[in-house]
Amino acid sequence: MTESVSHDYVTIQCVCCGYTLKVPVYCGNRFCGICHSQRQKRVRNRINWLIKNRPFVRGTMLKHLTLTVRNHQDLAQMVKHLVRSFRRLRQRAYFKKHVVGGAFVIEITEKGHGWHAHIHCVIQAFRIEWQIIRNLWRQCTGGSTGVDIRNRSAVSCIQYLTKYISKSDLPIDLQSVASDALKNYRLFNPFGSWFAINKQYVHPPSRCPKCRALNSYLPWDIIFGAWHG
């Protein structure tokens, strides 16, 4: 309750029917439990669009790939190592040959044994060998072997990536540390052929929940000022 009281909101109003809605102002904390619902919605829309508009390549399937590195006390260094290692993996010939494209999110947890970071990917790929990816990941990370690959439906892929990017179960006293460590990283990233497709994405228009008008919201202070003219 304390967190919700201290959070800033802005009131917006539909210019067609007058319906008002309070929406949270992004506070800069990527693990904020109040902000995460809006982030979850945006990411779900984008992932859904990418999967529906992925290139048709015969023989490819959607898969959920999870990559981890060893626990570390320095979260910033750990995330840097994780992202760099995944970049190296994507540059390997086997990965480039078998993976058409995909998108990934970063998940961070802390269970009392040091920070733990994961990369969760949805990939469009041909049949790939777990053992080969595991060996490549060990080479790219300098010893980590945390690799899991599973075939998934489009619906499952959307649910998994949305779940991990919107998780906000870190203790409040650790959220600011984790958010600062991720300051220079995007939590959702397309790669391969999906990177070019992502550039074509257009944000869906907002719709008033009462009158169903499109893009009809304006900040309350603008409407209020105009009304007093």
d(CA 26, CA 35): 6
- Residue 145 sits in a domain whose CATH number is 3.30.70.60
Domain range spanning residue 160? 36-206
Residue 224 lies in a domain: no
Within 13 Å and on the Cβ side, how many CA atoms surround 203? Answer: 9
Which secondary structure element, helix H or strand E, spans residue 190, and what is its range? strand 188-192
Per-residue pLDDT of the chain (229 residues; tens, 9 = 90+): 334 447 788 888 888 898 888 888 877 777 777 777 777 788 888 889 999 999 999 999 999 999 999 888 888 999 999 999 999 999 999 999 999 999 999 888 887 778 888 999 999 999 999 999 999 999 999 999 999 999 999 999 888 888 777 566 677 788 888 888 888 888 789 999 999 999 999 888 888 888 988 888 776 444 344 433 2
Residue 119 lies in a domain: yes
Residue 3 lies in a domain: no
Residue 185 lies in a domain: yes
Asked if residue 120 lies in contact with residue 188, where contact means CB atoms within 8 angstroms, the answer is no
Burial of 129 per CB tally in 10 Å (0-12, 13-18, 19+)? exposed
Pairing of strands 99-110, 61-68: unpaired
Residue 61 lies in a domain: yes
Residue 228 lies in a domain: no
